[in-house]
């Protein structure tokens, strides 16, 4: 029971960090275009992240039971995976790099699972099918979206910006800023809602996996009746898990994420309200579609590449490609770095007698 509480606290710590790390992506453009003050933007994002987190559990199921063989997953495995993800998120936050919390969590979990299985890489589900016959596993749910979503975000942002430019090019800049300043409130809310519907579910999946693992191992067999709700004979995402993760993410969002906001909203491309609207709308649509399919998409990749696409639609030189290069390198290293940290944490815990 003690190790479960430690895992639960680690999962909620990851969710809180995700709130100010990734949720900053949702409000970076609306802050940089000065449509909202930072405090107003954080309040908006916190509310819509909370609402989005309450919408469905498809992504949670993918994280909890669709990526690694649960027979090799123990409480220590989950703790080790979370440790790798938390360390990486804090490091990239400190550097102001908008890396993917999703890939950090997935990498950490996979690395820890490999260590738990004695180095057997077959513990990972590469390409399988779920109970409904749909494609499942790391390739269709993680790797393929990791390659395609940035491209979709980039091209979608560029196309939408081009169309909007054609629509408003005869209007005065003051009128355009006034119109899209109001529309950006809608797009920022949509972006925050989509983020909550995808990212909050990842921690839900981890907690549900911990509950399932604890029940399977007999860790909860002596619980008093008032804690019987912790027993989970099958993998399910209980209502209390959904609400807890939603509230914790909203609290993390309320704490802000100024380092990420500066990189996303100021250093990469100089944005006006119309550009912010185009980037947020594109990214939100990509994330929303992924959530309905149970794909744990990187919201960071979606919004970052959408901003790049919008910048290119202005002119190629509008994008500060040196900043983009730093961001891309962070993306490349996230999965292997977190996998290695998860693996090493699992090995260390095993050597210390924790299994």
* Sign of the CA dihedral with 345 first, then 299, 68, and 234 last: positive
Domain range spanning residue 157? Answer: 2-351
pLDDT at 337 over 60: yes
SS3 call for 124: strand
- Give the per-residue pLDDT at 48: 87
pLDDT at 4 over 80: yes
pLDDT at 201 over 90: no
Q: How many Cβ atoms are within 10 Å of 347's Cβ, its own excluded?
A: 16
Average pLDDT (199-217) is 87
Question: pLDDT confidence of 225, banded at 50, 70, 90?
Answer: confident
pLDDT in tens, 100-119: 888 999 999 999 999 999 99
How many distinct structural domains can be found in the chain? 1
Say if residues 92 and 330 touch (Cβ distance below 8 Å).
yes
Measured CA distances, 10 to 16, 54, 228, 326 (Å) = 10, 21, 22, 28
Say if residues 51 and 193 touch (Cβ distance below 8 Å).
yes
Element of type H or E holding 139? none
What are the counts of helices (DSSP H) followed by strands (DSSP E) for the chain? 14, 2
Average pLDDT (10-34) is 80
pLDDT at 261 over 70: no
């Amino acid at each position: 029971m003690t190790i479960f509480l430690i895992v639960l606290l680690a999962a909620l710590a990851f969710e809180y960090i995700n709130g100010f790390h990734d949720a900053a992506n949702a409000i970076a453009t609306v802050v940089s275009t000065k449509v909202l003050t930072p405090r107003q933007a954080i309040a908006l994002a916190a509310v819509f992240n909370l609402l989005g987190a309450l919408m469905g559990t498809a992504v949670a199921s993918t994280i909890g039971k669709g990526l690694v063989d649960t027979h090799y997953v123990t409480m220590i495995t989950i703790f080790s995976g979370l440790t790798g993800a938390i360390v990486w998120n804090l490091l990239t936050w400190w550097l102001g790099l908008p890396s993917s919390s999703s890939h950090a969590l997935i990498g950490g979990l996979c690395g820890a699972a490999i260590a738990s299985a004695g180095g057997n890489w077959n513990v990972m589900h590469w390409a399988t099918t779920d109970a409904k016959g749909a494609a499942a596993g790391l390739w269709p749910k993680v790797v393929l979206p990791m390659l395609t979503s940035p491209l979709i975000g980039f091209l979608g942002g560029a196309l939408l910006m081009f169309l909007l430019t054609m629509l408003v090019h005869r209007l005065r800049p003051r009128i355009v800023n006034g119109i899209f300043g109001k529309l950006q409130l809608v797009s920022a809310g949509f972006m925050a809602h989509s983020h909550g519907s995808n990212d909050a579910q990842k921690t839900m999946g981890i907690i549900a996996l911990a509950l399932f693992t604890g029940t399977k191992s007999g860790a909860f067999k002596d619980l008093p009746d008032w804690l019987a709700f912790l027993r989970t004979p099958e993998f399910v995402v209980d209502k209390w898990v959904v609400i807890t993760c939603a509230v914790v993410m909203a609290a993390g969002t309320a704490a802000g994420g100024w380092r990420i906001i500066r990189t996303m909203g100021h250093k990469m491309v100089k944005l006006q309200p119309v550009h912010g609207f185009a980037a947020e709308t594109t990214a939100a649509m990509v994330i929303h579609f992924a959530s309905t399919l149970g794909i744990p998409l990187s919201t960071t990749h979606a919004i970052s590449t959408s901003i790049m696409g919008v910048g290119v639609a202005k002119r190629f030189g509008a994008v500060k490609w040196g900043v983009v290069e730093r961001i891309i390198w962070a993306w490349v290293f996230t999965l292997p770095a977190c996998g290695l940290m998860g693996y090493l944490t699992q090995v260390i815990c095993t050597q210390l007698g924790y299994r």
